[in-house]
Structure 1
Amino acid sequence: MKQITNVNKPKVLVVDDEPTNIHVAAKALEESYELLVATDGKKAIETTNEQLPDLVLLDIMMPEMDGFEVAQRIHSNPLTKNIPIIFLTAKQHQEDVKQGFQFGAKDYIRKPFKPDELQARVASQIEAYTLQERLDRELKIRKQNWKMLDDNVAFAFVSFNGEIEYASNAFCQEFRCKPEELQGKNFNMLSSGETTQEFYKELWTTISSEKPFESEILDKTCNGELHWYHSTIVPRYDEDKTWIGYTAFYKNIDDKIKLKQLSERDNLTGLANRLRLNNILDDNAEQFARHGYPFSIILLDLDYFKNINDQHGHQIGDLILKELICSILVFNLYTKWIILLTS
């Protein structure tokens, strides 16, 4: 019998050593499916491996290799193990039916079969197979996407009380931690100790209101290193859109902070340069106008400093400047500004 093909239709492989049975099955199915034909077990396995049909209609009683062995070989191949098989047989014993299901059959139709029954059962199994294949593909894509996210984005799932429920691979690598060092621990274990309580108060007030919080923060890795991060903390929800905690995203910004510090501070003394001083003055003047918070400025004038450079060299002059600044900062720890003039 000539094979009937249509690439736009699901593929059904009909396996039977009797041409009459193939003809009856083909007549019932040819309008809805692309039909593949095999008259023995060996050909059935070859066709299944090459064509990957969406379903196999398989006769049990065949010479050389019966349907049970064919089914076993199809389902032992990783590429074809999920293809549904419907046994077609004239056997009537319940034990044969049981054996068919043990070899992976999805359904069992006794001969002679009615065309309407065959159509319904084939359609049901192909629909289930197609749906399962789609779900498997989507699950595979989701797993791939999750792995890509987990390996490249530093994030952690955090409970309402600040407990770390999960940390991504990228998060563990960034903070030099093993997963077990973070799991179940409070997030404050990563605190540098240099962040103010006012900052944390604002953070918890914001996220407790189910609002996102975004900031730059200095935190500590598991091996004690301090690094700057851009942190974004957002509410986390389950599939029912119930608020269940937070997701904290972290991005290392050490280079950005270093560049900012270089652009705002004098390389020799470490004091704020004019750009930084102007910004500080604006900020403090605004706070003074709003809250009445006072601030102070120390203005120093070193007379005849040029003589030191001329007599002892600039290296000694630089050393004296740094020692002078250090002494002043120790003497007055609360002074926000120092403007140093030399002549």
Structure 2
Amino acid sequence: MKKILLSSVVCASMMFAASEYKYEITPMVGGAYTEGNLGLERDYINGGLALGFNQTESMIDQVELAVFRTVEDVDMVDAAGNSINRDTGITRVFVNFVKDYPLTSNASLYALAGAGVEFFDDAANNNNNENGLVGNYGVGAKYKLAEQFALKFDVRHLIEADSGDNTLLYNLGFSVPFGKIAKAAPVVAAPVVMAPKDSDNDGVIDAKDNCPNSVAGAIVNAMGCEMDDDKDGVVNRLDQCPSTIAGAKVDNVGCMTLVDLNINFDTNSAVIKDTYNSRIVNFANMMKNNTKLKATIEAHTDSIGSAKYNQKLSNKRAASTVEVLKSLNVDASRLTAIGYGETKPAASNMNKEGRAENRRVQAVITK
């Protein structure tokens, strides 16, 4: 396990990182768990303080100077684990090298390794707890609470240099960075002025051209798209029927194939109300302006009443619409009336609104 962690630290040292602050101070509290042969109680509480020196141009992210001290004196024990009525305080000082591994914008892992010394207030015992050198390595996690505050938790494995005895430290810390590094003013390159491009040569530069592949010679609007005056989806250049009624369906040359005359009848009625005159007048004018077109007037009903009655009613509605168009001087030879009864609903017949929509008239256009 020690080899794996040390290898991780060595690999991490090959990466570079930077911090916005020069220093970081971290007060810590935690505990220690010792081997059973050290002549000390196995669990005790530590307090600590770490001062980090952040590195901006180094293979490591931080050099840490850390001091740990037992909160209370630790009981000394015999081989059986019984107190021998003596105790000692322990102070440890380390210099560690730290490498961060970011996970998210707020969270990261870190690895550390280093060496230091430990001091026993009462080192005169028979269990080899003497002042001396100690190495350590460990891993931890850091979570940023705000721009300048973070929680840290780590576990450190301590190995005494003279005896190889082991102690495990686990610590919870609250870190505060300080000494913000002044950032150098960015170097702004002189802008390169280039003439705006117009790749399709339609007179609208590429930056404003919503239709960048206009046909050569096409008349376009301010956004670089070909004009479609009647807004039927077919541009003027291809539109053989340039006065399409709004909302009508058209073919690929812009001629109408289906027009909803927006006539909704009352139940059991074939009478066209005056409120629908403007739509019918517009359709009549279009037919007179395009004398090659013919129209089949299709009428529909809702499902109220019998299918036989609704068929007769739709025939009356289609004929009523044709009569209005004839009165507007549309040649009767170009008009055909047909009723579909309740067989082709456009909406549900289960509610009032749907039935009103089904009582409708449409014109199918042919040449």
The answer, yes or no, to whether TM exceeds 0.5 is: no
Structure with greater proportional helix content: 1
Which structure has the higher relative contact order (CA within 8 Å, separation 6+)?
2
Q: TM-score, normalised by structure 1?
A: 0.18
Structure with greater proportional strand content: 2
